[in-house]
Structure 1
Amino acid sequence: MKTPLTLLLPLAAAMPLVLAFAEDKPATPKTPAPEASTKTMETGKVIKTDEEWRQKLTPEQFAITRRAATERANGAAYEKFEKEGEGTYYCVCCGGELFTSKEKFHSGCGWPSFYDSSKANNVLERADDSHGMRRVETVCKRCEAHLGHVFEKEGFKTPTDRRFCINGAALVFVPKGGTPPKLEELSSPEVAKKKDEVKKAAGE
């Protein structure tokens, strides 16, 4: 059935009005895109040769942080740790923040203990199958310095029931309000790769 022309004419006449109202309707404002973060993310890591680390560290610090040795339980470093008050603990190798006194607790194990790492997120956990044991090693994310190990579900009444068992010689304590140690600069991924190749060639 065909629509009479007399009915189509009024519709056609009204079309411009419909379009006009559509054009006058304000456009829905678009949600502005979030601004890009101005915070610079660290990339790469601190890379040094063994000789460079030896020049910076004491023999004990080098053995622990670069060769994964363990200091004596209840030694001088632990006694010093027990007496330290409010403050922050930094990596002895690169100066990165690792722990604070807020996470510190007395575990009685003979080594510095923390129930969590600091908000700086510079503590990396990785599997350690050495010495016929299955453990979780903790290292500094910035320079891969060996710090110690982390253990879980030992029954400590802490917020995490975790125990970061850390070598005191791997830490630098700065009291609250003190000046943090100077940060070692990170190498670019390219430079880090090249230095790794040189170290492997030298048998380090």
Structure 2
Amino acid sequence: MPAGKDEEEHHVAAEDGSAGHRHRFAKRIGGLIGILAALAGIIGLVITVMDRPEPLKAEDWASEANAACEREIGALTSATLNAQTALLTVQTNIQAGTLTDQQVKDAAWYFDSAAGALRKINGELRRIKRPGEIENEVDEVIDKGVELSNVMSRVAVNLSQVSLSEPARSLELLGAANTEIQKADPLLSQWQEGLQALDVTSCDT
């Protein structure tokens, strides 16, 4: 066989071998890329699962709500007791005929303070994220608290407008305040009982 032809066949064989090697290498690379892609997908899934927060539970909400109540209940308790004391002073002095405008205004101020303290607690409770399972119950109890704070505010407004120099108007305002006061105790009970049903006991006054 001529030398040139032998060299040519050897060259072709070498090229065929090189092409086959490249093909096998490409297949291995392709397989490796597929494995890495699969691993990346698995790792991504694991990271996603690990980063996913635990679902919110009712006891989580109760824990935060109790903490909020512990921070704020002192102001509400103090204002409520002062309002009750001031109201008793007003009633006693009405019966004795010694009532003064300042005594009535003191009662108004304490009722307004109690309303403000209750609004602050309700605001804190509303900001806490709640799980869906108790969402309606939480909304209902906060609504009761808002209603109670509105009652206290109306008592404060009525009492603040009392002027003994206008007896007829003052009697009308005192009567309106008394009507609102009658609503306060039942609402307070409903608010606290609603919280207790949600395992929140730190808002008891």
Q: Fold match, TM over 0.5? A: no
Q: For the pair shown, which has the larger CA radius of gyration, 1 or 2?
A: 2
More strand by share: 1
Please give the TM-score of this superposition, normalised by the length of structure 1.
0.26
More helix by share: 2
